[in-house]
Structure 1
Amino acid sequence: MAGTGPALAGRGLHKRFQIKGVAAPVRALDDVSLEVPAGTLTALVGPDGAGKTTLLRLAAGLMRADEGALQVLGIDVAKDPQAVQDRISYMPQRFGLYEDLSVQENLDLYADLHGVGRAARQARYARLMEMTDLGRFTARPAGKLSGGMKQKLGLACTLVRSPALLLLDEPTVGVDPLSRRELWQIVQQLVDEEHLSVIVSTAYLDEAERCAQVFVLHGGKLIARGSPGEIRDNARDLCFVATPPRGTAPRTLQARLLDAPASIIDAVPQGGEVRFIRRPHAPAGALDALLAGAPAQPVAARLEDGFMVLLRAQQAAPGEHPQPATQPVAADTAEVVIQVKDLVRKFGDFTAVASTSFDVRRGEIFGLLGPNGAGKTTTFRMLCGLLPASSGFLQVAGVNLRTARAQARARIGYVSQKFALYGNLTVAENLQFFGGAYGLRGDRLQDRIRTVLRQFDLVGQEGATSGQLPGGFKQRLAMATGLLHEPEILFLDEPTSGTDPLARREFWRRITALAASGVTVIITTHFMEEAEYCDRIVIQDAGKLLAIGTPREVRVQAGSAADSRLSMEDAFIDIVRHAREAGQRSTPPARDRAPATPLRGASA
């Protein structure tokens, strides 16, 4: 049995995988040594393919290291994985709920699997239902739960027994900000009240800020460890916030800064401004030229800033990351390419989308935001022509989707939330297949394949089996496939879900370039920082449109004209909670309801 030692101790860990089509084996872990104290909350962070999931799977006894030693709760996991599995709980990225079973039946099944006795499980159930607020839904099929509720049920099933160590692999991927906060409150409560040891991998650096210790992985190597404050110190005195001139979108200034890696380490839109990290010895004149008169003020470093400094230091040299292969064009930004009027979608007696109206202009980046189960995915699928509307008017690229969905689909590109390509085909085979499906042939197809391979930095990966690629490469391949036929409108359904900040920067630099070239982009996302890239956003909940406007207008709606620097996450949560509280106080007859909540303070 384990004593009072560390929850996990690894020394010289190596793990390699052979991927079909790639000559050299992938080093998932390369001489990693670490120690995690018991009773603490610890984060594993790093870009896609860094080795986070591999390390968790080693700790769970699901695979063995090629070299090195690993002890979990004082047990040699290689010698006795079952003894470790008897004392830990592990929640993988895709936790296996049984969607046809009810919430209660899922809990009972996992309690049976873990041998939890009748008396013990009843007390445990009461505690879990209180923490997750799922007590009202025990009879509901798991498949009918929202994404956030499914994650909470997955966590509850993982905890039907009281483990000594909890391993969580990106538990909040695909979860809206409101549910994400609730999940973290549950985890923190477990650490504070039950003194549970928790190791979590996460793509959200604000989540890692909550942890006592952070391990930063890159390319299978451990490149940094320490408290959040110690990781932040890597960016001390290097962080600034610049205010773009009126009429200049924050993403435009951000793109200019990112395209000067000799002077800038990182840049990201934030609250209508641009937060950036300068290189320590960047010439003042070069920085002034990049800002072009935009005033900049120093700000305190965040964990994400320190993380980005560490990751950029791993790159070979400034300026080697690929530049977008699109050129700005003079697009008619007043041209309406999507018209939505009184759009309704019902499933039986349930109204998923209720009387929604908006339009989208050419070259615009338009965001659909909302909690899990809000109706945004239904709206999105109707816009793509994948789902017919129950009533209302819907026109995309000049085509009425009620009467000619196939014609409209030929003019749009689509990247789904889940990897939807053929995992058993190589990168090149997927591009060949989908290019043919889009009607591309001969030299034209080969030219487009060469272009997107360069554009999405996939050169050298052509022979790799796509299903075995790291998440970031899968996302790039999905984007490349969706843009093969050069569509007028690109639909992106949570395309950066689970990707790290570095991959998100590269992704949005490409999207900014596409919009500048005249492509209209419709995107759903749970990363609220990504709403700052949008020209306009819609927030939906319970099928209703709660807010529509520029990011600044939506922040103003959540607070006041003086509060337009409110973070988009806080604004989102404020708007959704306000609408839900108002709905609980009174529910007027449908004929008396406005089609959308007007923007408070939008004229300010």
Structure 2
Amino acid sequence: MTDRIPSTDDDARSEFVRLADVSKSFGQAAQALKDVSGIISGGRITGLVGPDGAGKTTLIRLITGLMQPDGGSINVLGFDTKLHAPSIQALIGYMPQRFGLYEDLTVQENLNLYADLRSLPLGERPAAFDELLTFTDLKRFTGRLAGQLSGGMKQKLGLACALLKKPRLLLLDEPGVGVDPISRRDLWKMVKDLTKDGIGVLWSTAYLDEAEACDKVLLLNKGELLFSGPPADLTNRVKDRVFKFTGISGSRRQALSKILEQQGVVDGVIQGDAVRIVTSAEAKRSELTKIAGNTAKIRATEPRFEDAFVDMLGGGPGGRSKLAEAATRLDDQNGKPVIEAHGLTKNFGDFTAAKDITFDIPRGQIFGLLGPNGAGKSTTFKMLCGLLKPTQGEGRVAGFDLRRDGAEARNRLGYMAQKFSLYGDLSVGQNLDFFAGVYGLSGSRKRERVSLMNEIFSFAARDNLPAKDLPLGLKQRLALACAVMHEPEALFLDEPTSGVDPITRREFWTHINGLVEKGVTVLVTTHFMDEAEYCDRISLIYRGRSIALGSPDELKAGVATKAQPDPTMEDAFIALVEASEREAAA
């Protein structure tokens, strides 16, 4: 069992929430929370971090008084949640994990509704609305339906509704999920400004760069609190144990898989043309130099919070993918691209969502579509997998034109949607059977592939469970299993790991990297900038156009300056978008 790390800071001066041995169970399932104790302070952002199913959402709901603990006590702003839940709810703001607003109401109508629910006096509403709409930059969109807002704008509206009565404590359950880096930065700045007024913030997150920026972190795993304190205290756990391999000859994916199988390697990810690893305390550097071949160079690099997070949870899943090992190798016989976009354009009335998008993807590569919410990347993505008919231009998959030979093209691809796209009321087994049939499998071949997916992803114990009741990580595994059931040549992944914890994301990408090595071609959209590093090439879409095209390292090098000689992928994303805006304004 992982050792607990005690808190190193003193929160007693501004204590807003005190958790004392809090426990919670649901039926016969494993305990959601086990004897959790800790403090959340005013005027600070406290990050609530942990893998899928760790108990983060349960803890937030207990703090709101919407649920009661089975054991222990929770004191919020001087009130016991068991005795004074209404008093607590009058003093806090709560933004749930799922978009809790009404999509068929406008921005202003949602604000009006929440003002009614929070009993905001009529005389105070005009000033409150004006302040919040200015704060969130939503004044221009008061008449727009909430369902038509981008992901970032939805989160800003949710934040505005949570702030209507100037809460003393703000509870945010994964507010950055599905939000692009620019919108997340804006959201973070808004919340940071709130703490200057003494508001306490609890920010649950799957983005560990967000956790790293918090004043304090509570790390949960399987319902237990493993760490409480400043993020830097956890990051220092892996100091002098993080290295980067550069100059790798051949496939970096093969190199990563090989490295992850070595004793003493705790975790590893692709980072552009390099491979970043975390080692155990016992690993010797002299042994590491032999791992990636004679041409590779190894150097120490600064640790990140995510490195320590994965290390504390026991390390990543390793480099072996049973899914890839069972896949048939696809040979590149004619050298032609597997996915092609030639001048793809899509108009919705007078609005051009995508204009003249052009690129091609060779066999066995990963190509990333990046861009802010509403930039046009999802429209481009949907045109290439046959879900949207382009206004102009041509898209091809495995040589088949999506206009003339749509059915043939779709038989060659697998699709994993941004939102869980399987049938929630069908069981795990029924979903596997249904999608096997959709992709044309029958008889012994169908039985063989369904059985293989059950074995690889360990679905047997949950075969009869409705898909809607699965934890997020298992939903993602089921969606991937259904997408690769028929061994497609091309795999389309639309924000496939949004909201998923780092351990599950690593498992997912182990499968994808393995499939790519077998010749599968991947088109992916993502808001995780570390995932963008896994791509061979990237197209950055902004305002319907491709504003940059190249490898991750090429895009980063293109924005490097003397002041910032080694930019991150997020730095590159933001710099390229800002440069495009300046060019458009000139």
Please say if 1:181 is aligned against 2:185: yes
Show the counterpart of 2:434: 433
Amino acid in the other structure paired with 1:236: K
Q: Does the Cα contact within 8 Å between 1:271 and 1:565 map onto a contact in 2?
A: no
Find runs of 4+ consecutive structure 1 residues off by over 6 angstroms. 318-322, 560-564
Counterpart Cα distance in 2 of 1:344 and 1:296: 45
Equivalent-residue separation in structure 1 for 2:330 and 2:491 (angstroms): 18
For residue 139 of structure 1, report the CA deviation from its aligned partner.
Answer: 2.7
Q: Is the contact made by 2:168 and 2:200 (CA closer than 8 Å) also made in structure 1?
A: yes
Residue from 63, 87, 105 that aligns with 1:59: 63
Identity across the alignment (%) = 47
Does residue 122 (structure 1) correspond to residue 126 (structure 2)? The answer is yes
Q: Deviations over 1:410-460 (max 9, x none)?
A: 221111111111222222221122212222223322221222233334453
Equivalent in the alignment of 1:21 = none
After TM superposition, give the deviation of residue 243 of structure 1 in Å.
Answer: 1.0
* Deviation by residue 1:128-182 (Cα, 9 ceiling, x = unmatched): 2232222222233323322111111111111111011100010010000011100
Is the Cα contact below 8 Å between 1:272 and 1:565 reproduced in 2? no
Residue in 1 aligned with 2:238?
235
Return the alpha-carbon distance in structure 2 between the equivalents of residues 207 and 150 of structure 1.
19
Whether contact under 8 Å (1:41, 1:213) holds in the other structure is yes
Structure 1 residues 561 and 36: alpha-carbon distance in aligned structure 2, compared to 1, 3 A threshold: closer
CA distance in 2, matches of 1:525, 1:540: 12
1:257 maps onto 2:266 in alignment: no
Aligned residue runs from structure 1 range 379-528, under 5 A: 379-528=380-529
Matched, 1:40 2:49: no
**TM-aligned CA distance change 1:422 to 1:353, over 3 Å:** same
Bigger CA drift: 442-451 or 154-163?
A: 442-451
> How many Å apart are 1:565 and its aligned residue?
4.2
* Alignment correspondent of 1:535: 536
Worse-matched range after superposition: 369-378 or 460-469: 460-469
2:567 aligned residue: 566
Matches within 5 A, 1:538-549: 538-549=539-550
Sort the Cα spacing of 1:210 and 1:376 in 2 relative to 1 into closer, same or farther, 3 A.
same
Q: 1:191 to 1:249 in 2, by over 3 A?
A: farther
Match of 1:304 among 302, 306, 311: 306
- 1:103 corresponds to which residue? 107
The 3-state SS of whatever aligns with 2:432 is helix
Once residues 239 and 496 of structure 1 are traced to their aligned partners in structure 2, the CA distance between those partners, rounded to angstroms, is: 24
What SS does the corresponding residue of 1:26 show, helix, strand or coil?
coil
Report SS of the residue matched to 1:171: coil
Partner of 2:8: none
Structure 1 CA distance, aligned partners of 2:363 and 2:563?
Answer: 31
Instruction: Classify the secondary structure of the residue corresponding to 1:119.
Output: helix
Deviation string for 1:468-493 (max 9, x for gaps)?
22111110111011111111111110
Query: What is the rounded CA distance, in whole Å, between the counterparts of 1:323 and 1:446 in structure 2?
Result: 18
Return the offset for 1:381. Answer: 0.6
Aligned length: 572
What pairs up with 1:137-176 in 2 under 5 angstroms? 137-176=141-180
Name the CA shift for 1:360/1:5 in 2 (closer, same or farther; >3 Å): closer
Amino acid at match of 1:38: G
Pairwise CA distance, 1:535: 1.0
Distance in 1 separating the partners of 2:441 and 2:26:
35
Check whether the contact 1:244–1:274 (CA below 8 A) recurs between aligned residues. Answer: no
Secondary structure of 2:431's partner?
helix
The whole-number CA distance in structure 2 between the counterparts of 1:206 and 1:358 is 31
TM-score normalized by the length of structure 1: 0.90
The equivalent of 2:337 in structure 1 is 336
What is the distance in 2 between the residues matched to 1:563 and 1:4? Answer: 38
Residues 234/562 of structure 1: CA separation in 2 closer, same or farther (3 Å cut): closer
1:208 aligns with 2:211: yes
C-alpha distance in 2, partners of 1:387/1:200?
A: 37
Q: Counterparts of 1:30 and 1:428 in 2: how far apart (Å)?
A: 32
Query: SS of the counterpart of 2:488?
Result: coil
Q: Deviations over 1:81-105 (max 9, x none)?
A: 2221111111011122223332222
Distance 1:441 1:562 in 2: 60
Q: What TM-score comes out, normalization by structure 2 length?
A: 0.92
Matches within 5 A, 1:565-604: 565-585=566-586
CA deviation after TM superposition for structure 1 residue 244, in Å: 3.2
Distance 2:352 2:299 in 1: 48
More moved, 324-333 vs 450-459? 324-333
SS of equivalent residue, structure 1 residue 418 = coil
Q: 2:75 aligns with which of 71, 74, 78?
A: 71
Per the alignment, residue 11 of structure 1 pairs with: 20
Distance 1:202 1:451, change over 3 A: same
In structure 2, C-alpha distance between the alignment counterparts of 1:361 and 1:562, rounded to whole Å:
36
CA separation in 2, counterparts of 1:344 and 1:104?
Answer: 33
The RMSD of aligned alpha carbons is 2.3
Please report how far the alpha carbon of residue 322 of structure 1 lies from its aligned counterpart in structure 2 after TM superposition: 6.2
Distance 1:98 1:518 in 2: 44
C-alpha distance in structure 2 between counterparts of 1:469 and 1:302, whole Å: 31
When residues 138 and 330 of structure 1 are mapped into structure 2, their CA distance, relative to the original with a 3 A threshold, is: closer
